[in-house]
Amino acid sequence: MPTLTEKIIKAHLQEGTMDRGCPIAIKIDQTLTQDATGTMAYLQLEAMGVDQVKTELSVSYVDHNTLQSGFENADDHKYLQTVANKHGIYFSRPGNGICHQVHLERFAAPGKTLLGSDSHTPTAGGIGALAIGAGGLDVACAMAGRPFNLKMPKVVNVKLTGALHKGVSSKDIILKVLQSAIANAENNNGMNAENLYVEECYASQGPIMKRVKPRAQGRAYRIEKRMSHITIVLDEK
């Protein structure tokens, strides 16, 4: 059964075949930029002579260079605001929040493709989007309606379902993921399990899904469901 990643790629495939490692090109639905990388991306977009962006949605966030110690940041922010108005791009002003988290909560959607000039763009994968970090020129080309070129990835599907039994801790989850990584390295990549070692292992904060639960007498309270990402990287001696 195909994974969600493979389903999204198939629905957006414009060039190539879905064979692992083969060059493909996919349609991009959404883009995001932030002010540290966005200025160059939009200069490149304007150099292409594009009137309005061709994506379903593009957002320009100002969230990185917000300290005004000189005129440079203020000039960049003014340019980003005017270029957004000119080309049909949403503009997120300073103080609205960090691009990858705000985009996750406000704009990203399951089944969509997102290309962003920020290394944390894959955060939107937390709700089932195919989100990829890329260079400013790639993002500019996507806004101009051009496909994004990449190699068909090796997709590994790991599902953790249900609730933990009594006596089971996060350590056991990591060990299970490690066993899966060893099996993938041995069976899919031809690596010798006896020579494998853990090069990296870390848990990072994932998206926080927020909702509001209504109560009596016009009251309400927030529900926050916190998630985390477990990453294990194996290498061979």
Q: Which CATH number belongs to the domain containing residue 76 in this structure?
A: 3.30.499.10
User: 123: buried, middle or exposed (CB in 10 Å: 19+, 13-18, 0-12)?
Assistant: buried
1 — pLDDT class (breaks 50, 70, 90): confident
d(CA 154, CA 22): 10
Q: What is the 3-state secondary structure (H, E, C) of 196-222?
A: EEEEEEEEEEEEEEEEEEECHHHCEEE
**Do 28 and 131 reside in the same domain of the chain?**
yes
Tell me if 161 is assigned to some domain: no
DSSP percent split of the chain into helix, strand, coil, nearest 5: 35, 30, 35
Distances (CA, A) of 106 to 129, 139, 164, 237: 13, 20, 31, 44
**Do 11 and 71 reside in the same domain of the chain?**
yes
Domain span holding position 120 = 4-151
Backbone angles phi, psi at 3, to 5 degrees: -80, 170
d(CA 118, CA 99): 8
d(CA 172, CA 221): 33
Q: What is the 3-state secondary structure (H, E, C) of 172-196?
A: HHHHHHHHHHHHHHHHHCCCCHHHE
Tell me if 160 is assigned to some domain: no
Q: Report CA dihedral (167, 171, 177, 178) to the nearest 10 degrees.
A: -130
**Does the model's pTM come out above 0.75?**
no
Query: DSSP 3-state assignment of 85?
Result: helix
* pLDDT of 210 over the 80 cut: no
**Do 71 and 118 reside in the same domain of the chain?**
yes
Tell me if 157 is assigned to some domain: no
**Do 89 and 201 reside in the same domain of the chain?**
no
Tell me if 35 sits within 8 A of 63, measured CB to CB. Answer: yes
User: 190: buried, middle or exposed (CB in 10 Å: 19+, 13-18, 0-12)?
Assistant: exposed
**Do 42 and 101 reside in the same domain of the chain?**
yes
- Two tokens, residue 24: 């493909």
**Do 21 and 105 reside in the same domain of the chain?**
yes
- Domain end, chosen from 103, 119, 151, is at 151
Higher pLDDT, 174 or 52: 52
**Do 135 and 20 reside in the same domain of the chain?**
yes
The top-scoring range by mean pLDDT among 15-24, 168-177, 227-236 is 15-24
Check which CATH number belongs to the domain holding 189 and give it: 3.90.470.10
Q: Which of 39-53, 55-69, 145-159 has the lowest mean pLDDT?
A: 145-159
Higher pLDDT, 81 or 69: 81
**Do 128 and 197 reside in the same domain of the chain?**
no
What is the pLDDT, as a whole number, of residue 223?
A: 81
* pLDDT of 70 over the 90 cut: no
**Do 101 and 10 reside in the same domain of the chain?**
yes
Average pLDDT over residues 28-33: 98
**Do 129 and 223 reside in the same domain of the chain?**
no
**Do 57 and 109 reside in the same domain of the chain?**
yes
The total number of structural domains in the chain stands at 2
146: part of which helix (H) or strand (E)?
Answer: none
Tell me if 87 sits within 8 A of 55, measured CB to CB. Answer: no
- Domain end, chosen from 85, 120, 151, is at 151
